[in-house]
Amino acid sequence: MATDPLVPASFYVPPVFETDTFRLRMLTVNDVVKDFDAVVSSGAHIAGVWPESKWPEGLTLEQNLIDLGWHQKEFQRRTSFAYTVVTLDETQVVGCVYIYPTTKVGFDAEVYLWTRPPEQVGDLDRAMLKRAVTQWLADEWPFQVPAFPGLEIGWDDWVSLAEAQR
């Protein structure tokens, strides 16, 4: 777990980002049921978000609650930021966006995201979410070069990038 804040203390972390079709807001333990449903019903579709892991294979509601608590605490500590992607009426979780610190040279954050499969959410897909998040990061966040592993840079290339010297 990272212990240093990802953003300066003076930076106001946006609590919400909203478009005309979805909303991003801090992922909390209160989202556990809807988040769990989104994750387990989308397992095959989102398995490639972190190909080196087997997530979400074997995920239980209890483990999901623990994961959400972890994300919530990291958000509060400003060491990483997990946002749930919900419909505007908040009836359905349709995905997640994670902003993490990076150790890779040339980048100042790592951004991962997933959505439910198209048959569950209509027009919202990873590409649409990525475009919106890319613009939001450029407009609202202090990052100059966020990385989107698996989206803008292939996994093999990402893994082979040099680590920053500590």
Q: What is the pTM of this model?
A: 0.93
Q: Give me the phi and psi of 96, to 5 degrees please.
A: -145, 155
Question: How does pLDDT run across 77-99, given as a tens digit for each residue?
Answer: 999 999 999 999 999 999 999 99
Question: How does pLDDT run across 84-142, given as a tens digit for each residue?
Answer: 999 999 999 999 999 999 999 999 999 999 999 888 877 777 888 999 999 999 999 99
Question: How does pLDDT run across 152-164, given as a tens digit for each residue?
Answer: 888 888 888 888 7
User: Distance of CA 8 to CAs 1, 4, 5, 15, 77, Å?
Assistant: 18, 10, 7, 16, 12
Rg over alpha carbons for the chain, rounded to the nearest Å, is: 15
User: Distance of CA 143 to CAs 91, 106, 135, 140, 146, Å?
Assistant: 31, 11, 12, 9, 6
Question: pLDDT value at position 2?
Answer: 61
Sign of CA dihedral 61, 64, 68, 70: positive
What domains appear along the chain, each with residue ranges and CATH number?
16-160 (3.40.630.30)
